[in-house]
Structure formats: C-alpha cells, structure tokens
Chains A and B, each alone.
Chain A
Amino acid sequence: MTTSTSLLYWRIQNVRNRGLWWLFAVVAAFIALYVYLFPGLLSTGGISKFSQNWFPLALVSMAQAVLMLAGGISLSIGATVSLGGVIAATLLAGPLGVAGGSAVVLLVGAATGLASGWIVVRLGLPAIVVTLAASFIIAGWALLIMPRPGGAVPAWFSDLLAGNTPVALGLLVLVVLLWKLYLATPLGLSLYAAGENPVGAYRSGAPVDLSRIAAYGLSGLLCAAAGLFVAAQTGAGDPVIGNAFTLNSIAAAVLGGVGFLGGRGTMRGALAGSLLLSIMISVMFFLGLPPVAQYVAQGLIIVVAVALPEIAAMRRPRT
C-alpha cells in the first residue's frame, strides 16, 4: 500500500514475471547464440522469416496454455489447425474473398472449441477423451474438405503474411494485447480461479462454467488462426499439416511453466516456451544437425524441463 492505486494493475503484472526470469534468461541466451550463428537474423528479412516460423507455434501454445490454465487440456489442437488450413485454402480464393474466408475460418475454429468445451464442462466429461474424440471428428472433416493437399491462397495474401515484412510479429503483438485485454475482464480473470479452485470460485460467484467454455472457444479460435497462417505460408491447404502441433503446444506450455492441474502458470511463460522451442529447432538446423535430430532433442528437453523441479524438490524434505 505504498504506491498509488492506479498502479495496482502494473504491479500485479510485474509480480507475474517472478519465477520466469530464468526462462527469459535461457531464451535470451539462445537468441544470442542464434544471432552469433546467423547474423542475418538482425535484418528485416531475418526477423520476418524467424517470426513466421515462430508465429503458428506461438498461437497453438497460447491455445493449449489457455486450456491448461482453466484446468483442461486439448488433444485436438493439431486437427483444428489442419481444418483451419484446408478451409482457408478452399475459401480464400473463392467468392467470399480473403476477408470473408478468414472470418469463416475463425468462426469454425471458435465453434469447434465451444462445442468441445460445452461437452467437457456442462456434461462433466474428461477433457482428454472429449478432445481426443473431437480430434478424430475435426481431422475427418478436414479430410472430407480436402482429401489431399491442394487448394490455393491468393498470392498477395501470402506475400502480406509470409513475405519479407515482419507482419507476423506485428500480428503476434496484437494477439497478445487482445489476450491482456481479455484477462482484464472479470470473465478472463475468472479463468485462473476456475482452473485452480473451481469449487471456491463457484462459491464466490465467479462465472466458472462460462469462463471454462470460453477458454475452449478461444483455444479453437487461436488454432484456426494458426491454420490460416500456415495455409498462407505454404500457399495451400494440407489436411494433416497440423498434427505435430498437438505435442508441440503441450511441450511449449510445459517448458513455459504452465501446470497440468489448472491455474498454474502464465501466458507469457507459454509464449517464452514456444519461442525457446522455435529457436532451438532453428539453432540445431544451423549447427548442421539433421532435421530429425530435433525430435530427439525435443523429447529429452521436455522430460528434463518437467523433471527438474521434481529433482530439486527431492532434495528438500517435505513441508
């Protein structure tokens, strides 16, 4: 109570960085290493290319983190990305145009998320199985729309998003700002309460069910946006292109300190985790390791990142 009242929000924000400094430091170290290996990164083109590689991973990591914060999880992230991609590749060059097509993509993503969320929350079914089943249905839908890679995205749109300008970085900043805005609403803030202590939050009158369903909707929206971007990046749709994102989104969130039990972690942590993952892949590429070595490294890194706190805790007696 030493500072003036209007600063409360910013001080809360600052406190949330606590415990993430080590992660930020590791990310910074990797960025430095990357710049050392590849000085071209510091040009506009370099930043553009890098942020384009990072952008979809950042979006799906946010999509996973928002659910994990709400005490859920999604195994249908990858399928939703694919669905978003194939719808984009079908519609963007059609009569709806880029704006109309993109709107449909985002709406479909949000709708699939809301549907899963409604089933999980209102019918009280386990999130893992519901999203697993949803991933089958969504992946099937994507295959129906486009059995094999194809479709098209207008070239100017691809150039805009994935050209030599850091538009992706700007979009990411926009998404993060929108997220901050959402967290500053009562509904958004309730997410943490609903994830960590749903009974207590319900007793307090916080909109527990609504905030959890909304989290699923947001998650689907973010996945579809990632799919839209990937389609623009590759210039086409691919019904299975998103598969790897399910695991990577969980990996990034866990690396960023988001817990499985709900209410633990921060979105900035998840974003840092996704950045770390993205840079590591790039660095390994530049070190001349075969692309597949990243799988090996990724598997090891995830286990170590999750196990480290536990190993540290084993040395302390329980309190």
Chain B
Amino acid sequence: MTSPTERFAAARWQAVLRSRPMLTVAMVALAWIGASFFQPGFGGWRHLRYLLELAAIVGLVSIGQTLVVVAGGIDLSVGAIVTVSAIGVPLVTWLADPTGTAPALFILLCATLIGALNGLGIALLRVHPMIMTLAMATFLQGVLILIAGGSAISAQNAVLSWLGNARPGGISASVLLWLLASAIALWLLHKTPFGARLFALGTNPLATSLSGIGVRSTTIAVYAISGFTAGLAGALVLGVNGQGYVGIGDSYLLASIASVVLGGTSILGGRGTYAGTIPGAILLVTITALITMLNASAGWRNILFGTLIMALLLLSGRERQRR
C-alpha cells in the first residue's frame, strides 16, 4: 500500500494562483484599481455595490450556462427564458397572493419546465443543443409577442421588488441571493456525483454512457437547472425594473456565454468551474461600466467584449487540439 501523498501530488499554491479563475479575479482587481485612479467615484462602496447588483443577474443566468457548457452543451434560450420570467410574473397576478410569492414560484416552475423541454429534445430526440435551444428561443419569442404584445408590462410584486431593491445591512438582497446560489452551484458541480456526471458527459458522452451513467436524465436535469436559473434572473430583472417587455432578456444570452468563457470554462465541455464564471460576470459588468463612464459608444463596448473573449481564448492554449 502506497501512501496518499505519493499518489496525490499536493496542489501547489502557485498552481492555484496561476489558474484561470485567479487570472480573471486579477483582471477584475486591475480594472477596479485602474478605474478608481481615473474616476474617483468608481472605487466607492456604493458604485461597486451597484456593479455587483448588475453582476448578480448575469451571474445567475451564468450558473445554468456554466453547468450546461461543462456538460458539453450550450443553452441559447436563456435570454428568452429571462424574458418569459420578467413578463410572466405580471401576467399571472390572478394567482392572488399579496406577497407575490405564488406568481414568482409558478413562473420559476414554468422556466424550469421550459429548460427540461430543451433537455428532452436534446436527450431523446437527439437534436443538437444549439438548434434545440435556438428553436426554443425563437418559439418563446413568438409566444411572448402574441401574449404580451409590444408594450411593457408593469407589476407590483412585493417579494421581487424586495429582492431587487432591498439592502439589508447595507448589502444588496440580490447579491446575497447570488452568493447563496453560487455556493449551491459550486457544491453541486464539485462535491456531488451529479456534478461529476456533468464533467464526464462533457468530456466523453459515449464512455460516460458505457460507464453506467444515465446520460438522458443528466442532460434533462442540467437544462432544467439552466431554465431555473435563467427564470430566477428574470424574476430579479423584473424586481429591479418594475416592468418587463419583450426583449428585456436578450442581452443576457451573450453575457452568460461571455462570462463562462471569461471564467476559463472550456466551451467544448468537460473542464471548468463556476468559480471562474463569478469573476467573469463581474469583469463583464465592470467593463460595461468603464465604457459607459468613458462615454464610449455601444459599438466600442461590443468590440472590447469580442476582443477580450478572443484574447482569453488565445491565452488558454488548452483549447487547441480538441475540436
């Protein structure tokens, strides 16, 4: 019997520091420190808190996206599901409940079911994830316009307004929600057999299925989770804005994918961690804020995002040789 230390080389602290999540954290820190020099208000507590509130929504959507991407898929319907949730809650006010909990829970259930439907199409009908989720997004967009039309829908929902605006103890409720969700996501991904199955599935689906892992159930579950987190983010969007309209969730699709990539998760599946996506989401909103601050146009923001994703992709040479 050999000793554990011989068989498991201790992870060195240098390796942790050089890991991709840490690289992203360093970039966030750099951006914040740099910006504080040029713009005194930037590094202030209120402004940083505001940035984190924005990042919370992106971060919630990215939980599902990270898990799906780790499992070798991609979810292009998250933007539409955010919209479903933001528009759906006002539409189901007939679920009379002064606190607004019942409509919120009902819509979360719907979002989860939409995600599960994605998973069903991918697992049972073997539709390519990109096609299935794109088609779902198109379908939802049509349904939403039919139901809600082009105008914004306002809602008085006590629970969601509280989540969107309250700051118990000076810390935003939405950020607390994000923290809680992040802890659960990290536990799920790295500390449960379910999480391990996602990594296995994303690395080699055939070997995974021959190893006795239920590929179908895992696929359906991971897309359902993605639907749920996108729905949660949508509810938060409604809470912050007080109203929903068709298209309100669109920007979260690319933001979620960008956060996942910025966080170092392999877009090809099988490698990655939500611990990278968290700073990835913060980096994303920070850059957006910087550009707004510099009064640069939306065009420059897009170019910067694109260049950043491309640059990080080039830096992580790991992606090479795997197609």
Contact = CB atoms under 8 A, between A and B. Distances in A.
A–B contact with Cβ pairs below 8 Å: the answer is yes
Interface size range of chain B in the complex: 35 or more
Interface stretch (A130-138, A183-191, A263-271): A130-138
A28 interface: no
B310 interface: yes
Contacts of B302: 136-137, 139-140, 143
A270 B135 CA distance: 18
A295 B125 contact: no
Contacts of A143: 297-299, 302
Given A250-B134, A302-B131, A303-B131, A132 B257 contact: yes
A247 B135 CA distance: 8
A250 B130 contact: yes
Main secondary structure of the interface of B (DSSP, over half): helix
Interface string B280-314: 00000000000000000111111111110110011
Contacts of B321: 124
B126 interface: yes
Interface string A85-124: 0000000000000000000000000000000000100011
Interface in A131-154: 132-145, 147
Interface in A278-319: 290, 292-300, 302-303, 306-307, 310-311
B190 interface: no
A125 interface: yes
A128 B267 contact: yes
Query: What size tier do the contact residues of chain A reach?
Result: 35 or more
A170 interface: no
B309 A136 contact: yes
A296 B136 CA distance: 9
A254 B131 contact: yes
A239 B299 CA distance: 10
A306 B134 CA distance: 13
Given A129-B261, A137-B306, A293-B146, A142 B131 contact: no
Contacts of A142: 299
A125 B314 contact: yes
A310 B127 contact: yes
Interface of A: 73, 119, 123-126, 128-130, 132-145, 147, 239, 247, 250-251, 254, 260, 290, 292-300, 302-303, 306-307, 310-311
Nearest first, the 9 A-B pairs at minimum CB distance are: A295-B142, A299-B139, A140-B302, A136-B306, A143-B299, A137-B306, A140-B303, A296-B142, A144-B299
Given A133-B305, A299-B140, 19 more contacts: A124-B321, A125-B320, A126-B319, A132-B257, A136-B254, A136-B302, A136-B303, A136-B306, A137-B306, A141-B303, A145-B299, A290-B146, A298-B135, A298-B139, A302-B131, A306-B128, A306-B131, A310-B125, A311-B125
